[in-house]
Amino acid sequence: MRLEFGFGEGIQAVEVDEGNLLGVLTPNAVEIGLTGEAEVKRALDHPIGTPTLRDIVKPGEKIAVVTSDITRPMPTYAVMPALLDELYRAGIKPQDITLVFALGSHRPHTRAEMEKLAGPRALAEIACVDGDRSDCVHLGQTAHGTPVDIVRVVAEADRRICLGNIEYHYFAGYSGGAKAIMPGVSTRAAIQSNHSLMVMPEACAGNLEDNPLRRDLEEATAMCGVDFIVNVVLDEHKHIVKAVAGDVTLAHRAGCAFLDRLYCKEIGEQADIVLVSQGGAPKDLNLYQTQKALDNAKHAVKDGGIIILMGSCREGLGERVFEEWMTTSPTQESMIERIARDFQLGGHKAAAIAMVLQKADIYLVSEMEPDFVRRLFLQPFAQAQEAYDAAVGKLGPGATVIAMPYGGSTLPKLVVP
């Protein structure tokens, strides 16, 4: 059977015996109702776990709306018009609303980037600012010891409204919800403390309830307080197909449940070999982006198996800190040990790759130089068929296979009868 995977602007093809193939994981067919701004308005009119926003806020209150920065696909521009109309309907004045971009550990925005994110209407009507990590209010610390230091314009607001998109997150379980506050408008020290928990096995995609990292960030957010959220789920074209609004936890969980219906793929057993791709350009321009598909694929592979990761990576590794960790670490294990004591953005993805390597070998099909790939603790191939043949040669002709042509968007979940 011929399987095709997006690879840069083209494809990689692999011939697999149908008797060895356990499944091809693609997004589930889910009935979609309203989309885009109409779906946002529906969610605002039907909040989960709270009154409507117009019944929560009061005239004269200072409102902080916290949203994602330029590194996230959250379409803030599609949410703000309906949100502003809702606030104005409640008697809130434009001068009492501030849209705060949650930078986490990322760089500040240009004015053009702010307009792209917020949309022209919000930029013209209300204050739009980056979260200033140098001006925070200390609210205490979590049971884990994470300092709760929140950007002042958010901490001192009368009401906090958080926006975000919900997708799988490889150590927080899911994005969205409380993550707008922690790490969104928190200090580097707080992020370091919280994200150091990523090495715990329960800190993984699709896991919320016993995820220590998620528990810690939600505890921190509760100390700050969030009055209302608007979160969205996007399809593969980054269009809004679901919106949830209301309580920071209850509404978020409802959004996560919808995401699962769309992208969670139940499997009856793990495979010896997993063939996985991000789906091609632009998602596989570098290894930093392609890593997302790898982290989802780890849930489908047996211990001691092989993941064949297909990504053009024509731009190389894609991030300076990530490259430094990947190319200078003496061993795979050293990256995991380092991230636990010295969390660094970029380094966290290197550590995530090292954690996958504890479970399975990684055969990387890319456009990068083979000797360079070997320095990254990965085995290099130019063609997916060549990599698959090598994997079968190692594991035997009866090796089972799972294919994930959209690895960044599909999360395998092992369900044992």
Domain count, the chain: 2
Choosing from 229, 262, 295, the residue where a domain stops is 262
Q: How confident is the model at residue 409 (pLDDT cuts 50, 70, 90)?
A: confident
Q: How many CA atoms lie within 13 A of 238 on its CB side?
A: 9
Is pLDDT at 242 greater than 80 in this prediction? yes
In sequence order, the 6+-apart residues with CB closer than 8 A to the CB of 297 are 274, 276, 307, 309, 404, 407, 412
Beta 379-381 vs 401-404: how paired, if at all?
A: unpaired
Q: Give the relative orientation of helices 347-357 and 320-328 as an angle to the nearest 10 degrees.
A: 40
Choosing from 262, 295, 316, the residue where a domain stops is 262
**Per the domain annotation, does 384 fall within a domain?**
yes
The CATH number of whichever domain residue 142 belongs to comes to 3.40.50.11440
Q: What residues are paired with 12 via a beta bridge?
A: 5
User: For the residues 77-84, what does the mean pLDDT come to?
Assistant: 98
- pLDDT score for 73: 80
Is pLDDT at 61 greater than 80 in this prediction? yes
Question: 195 and 46 in one domain?
Answer: yes
Specify whether the CB–CB gap between 17 and 1 falls below 8 A.
Answer: yes
By CB neighbour count within 10 A (0-12 exposed, 13-18 middle, 19+ buried), where does 292 fall? Answer: buried
- pLDDT score for 48: 98
Question: 277 and 257 in one domain?
Answer: no
pLDDT tens-place string over residues 256-268: 999 999 999 999 9
Question: 19 and 100 in one domain?
Answer: no
The CATH number of whichever domain residue 392 belongs to comes to 3.90.226.30
b/e 55-75 (16+ beta carbons within 10 angstroms → b): ebbeeebebbbbbbbbebebb
Question: 395 and 347 in one domain?
Answer: yes
Is pLDDT at 417 greater than 80 in this prediction? no
**Per the domain annotation, does 31 fall within a domain?**
no
Is pLDDT at 344 greater than 80 in this prediction? yes
Question: 20 and 150 in one domain?
Answer: no
Question: 192 and 60 in one domain?
Answer: yes
Choosing from 245, 262, 279, the residue where a domain stops is 262
* CA-CA-CA-CA torsion sign (240, 243, 248, 254): negative
pTM: 0.86
Domain that includes residue 300, residue range: 2-26+268-414
What is the full DSSP assignment across 117-155? HH-HHHHHHSEEEE--TTSEEEEEE-TT--EEEEEHHHH
Question: 273 and 256 in one domain?
Answer: no
Reported residue count of the chain is 417
Tell which residue, 285, 299, 271, has the closest CA to residue 410: 299
